[in-house]
Copies of this chain bind each other. A is one copy, B any other.
Amino acid sequence: MHTPGSFHFVVVGGVAAGASAAARARRLSEAARITVIERGPDVSFANCGLPYFIGGEIGSRASLAVQTPQTLKALLDLDVRTSTEAVAVDPVARRVHVRCLASGTTEWIYYDRLLLAPGAVPLRPALPGIDDPRIFTLRSLHDMDRIKAAAASARKVAVIGAGFIGLEMAEQFVRLGKQVELVELLDQVLPPLDRPMTLLLEDELRRHGVALHLGDGIAGFEDGKGIVCRLESGAAIEADLVVLSIGVRPDTALARDAGLRLGPRGHIVVDEYMRTSVDGIYAAGDAVEVEDLVSGVRTSVPLGGPANRQGRLVADHVFVPERAVRYPGALGTAIVRVFDASAGITGWSEKRLRASGRPFRTVTVNDNHHAGYFPGAKPLMVKLLWDPETDLVLGAQVAGAAGVDKRIDVLATAISGGMSIDDLAQLELAYAPPFGSAKDIVNLAGFAAGNTRDGLVDPVDVLPDDPEVQVLDVRPLALSTSHPVPHPRVIAIPMPELRRRAGELDPARPVVTVCALGKTAYFAARILAQKGLRVRSLTGGLRARIDPRSPAKLPTP
């Protein structure tokens, strides 16, 4: 029905972007009619919490589904229709055709402004055996309930895809005492990151008994004792339960049929105010393509934070367009916890920069998450990428056991603020021994980047094979003996002896200095460079390149 007179804001999709838009809309207008159409049975639920309820870390299902159509009516005067599908949009008449999934009845709902926030659906490729009921994807509370029920009797679980959800599921299944096999097409876990920054997570997974199958794809499923996952390598994994977490695709059939412009991978194209190509229709959340904040190229960031903020911006533009703020573009900031380790990213990775051909420079630094002399200090590693023309930060990755989120957030803020590596060096962050260091690792990353830019150090990121190169281990002898550098030709000269013993090196041949964390190797490189040697330094040290737990101190006797 079409009630003339009161402005009608219709939202298709009632989870992150849709729910945020509807709530914000009500703050802006008590007079408007606001209707939310949600295909699923639940609205505004905490989808990022699903893995943790399966694993039992979140004990209360109700805590994930706080709002109901009734509470949203009471608090926000929203008309929320769950289990209702939007089947067509008529942009000329400004109406949406909806079908109640229970009764099958349909109606046209007229809108003044429409927001499409349909989200994304998990990829489920047409592989042999894909319809086996023991293969699950995780997107909704219903999916969650089904997986939790199936997991109760499962002993072995295969997780296909080691992205954020795959890693969270692997962790939670271990928590439930399951034997977990984790399969990933790439040769690393957490594909958005550069591989060195994922070594700690790999190690953490293995320590907790997760069997990793990296660089191997899923080829199909067969019936066996359980379900047999056949990998592209030919390997077979038998499991009682499979979770497929290999990515999502935007759920944009409705948008396409309505004539909205879609991007190359099917996302709804929106402008900086989240307007689609069709007048009166906005889109937000996992289904849209937005600008990348760093490069301006079109990208898609199917994450809860951006979805929520985009939804809010839509309501602003609908109700107070003169005050609406532009969407600044997406950074792709993300983080995952895997047992006692975590890793995160913001902005561009090295592999993405390489693939795009954009010039960059990078350093990796290691330190503790707070003052090393204060009990409980945990190692932390930061990789920084910047533009050699402008010195502006392009991206960063952080891995460690504590304080990862803080550094990712600081670096995300720095990128948003258009800050340079020198700005990072000068950041005045909060320091008290329980919280940080007088020189925080973010400052250190800025220092190291500046040193690289200024030619004080020339970082390398692999140990060279070239027999011409002298690989110099400057760690204490106890370490160079107990944890030798895995290289056939290593010269060991502990740092305090280097000035005296530099003559042992052939000045005609290049040197690569190596230590556990990269810092002492830099110090050594400075000494040798000033003696006229051609010297480079392994950035991030052995910990970043070879062993994420490479010891930095002498073993206590």
User: In whole angstroms, what is the CA distance A373 to B47 when docked?
Assistant: 11
Q: How far is the CB of A67 from chain B (nearest CB, A)?
A: 12
A526 in contact (CB, < 8 A): yes
Known: A57-B375, A63-B373, A527-B30. A48 touches B432 (CB 8 A): yes
CB < 8 Å: which of B30, B66, B333, B435 contacts A429? B333
CB < 8 Å: which of B46, B423, B438 contacts A416? B423
Within 8 A of B (CB), among A424-460: 425-436, 438-440, 443, 447, 450, 454, 456
Known: A331-B428, A410-B409. A419 touches B422 (CB 8 A): no
| A406 nearest in chain B by CB position | B406
Copies of this protein, total: 2
Q: Check if A419 sits within 8 Å of B413, measured CB to CB.
A: yes
Q: Check if A426 sits within 8 Å of B523, measured CB to CB.
A: no
> Which B residues lie within 8 Å of A63 (CB)?
372-373
Q: Check if B428 sits within 8 Å of A412, measured CB to CB.
A: yes
| A496 nearest in chain B by CB position | B74
A123 in contact (CB, < 8 A): no
A317 in contact (CB, < 8 A): no
Known: A373-B49, A419-B417, A454-B323. A164 touches B432 (CB 8 A): yes
CB < 8 Å: which of B27, B305, B427, B530 contacts A412? B427
A77 in contact (CB, < 8 A): yes
User: In whole angstroms, what is the CA distance A312 to B426 when docked?
Assistant: 10
Q: Check if A405 sits within 8 Å of B406, measured CB to CB.
A: yes
Q: Check if B58 sits within 8 Å of A333, measured CB to CB.
A: no
A307 in contact (CB, < 8 A): yes
User: In whole angstroms, what is the CA distance A230 to B384 when docked?
Assistant: 55
User: In whole angstroms, what is the CA distance A293 to B389 when docked?
Assistant: 26
Q: Check if B423 sits within 8 Å of A409, measured CB to CB.
A: no
CB < 8 Å: which of B57, B336, B371, B412 contacts A49? B371
User: In whole angstroms, what is the CA distance A309 to B443 when docked?
Assistant: 9
User: In whole angstroms, what is the CA distance A91 to B466 when docked?
Assistant: 53
Q: What is the size, in residues, of chain A's interface with B at 8 Å between Cβ atoms?
A: 98
CB < 8 Å: which of B46, B71, B530 contacts A373? B46
Q: Check if B426 sits within 8 Å of A325, measured CB to CB.
A: yes
User: In whole angstroms, what is the CA distance A336 to B430 when docked?
Assistant: 9
> Which B residues lie within 8 Å of A418 (CB)?
417
Within 8 A of B (CB), among A77-112: 77
Known: A30-B527, A530-B29. A48 touches B433 (CB 8 A): yes
A303 in contact (CB, < 8 A): yes
Within 8 A of B (CB), among A308-329: 308-309, 312, 320, 323, 325, 327-328
Question: Chain A interface (Cβ within 8 Å of chain B)?
Answer: 16, 20, 26-31, 46, 48-49, 52, 57-60, 63-64, 66, 71, 74-75, 77, 164, 168, 293, 303-309, 312, 320, 323, 325, 327-328, 330-337, 342, 344, 346, 371-375, 404-406, 408-410, 412-414, 416-419, 422-423, 425-436, 438-440, 443, 447, 450, 454, 456, 495-496, 499, 523, 526-527, 530-531
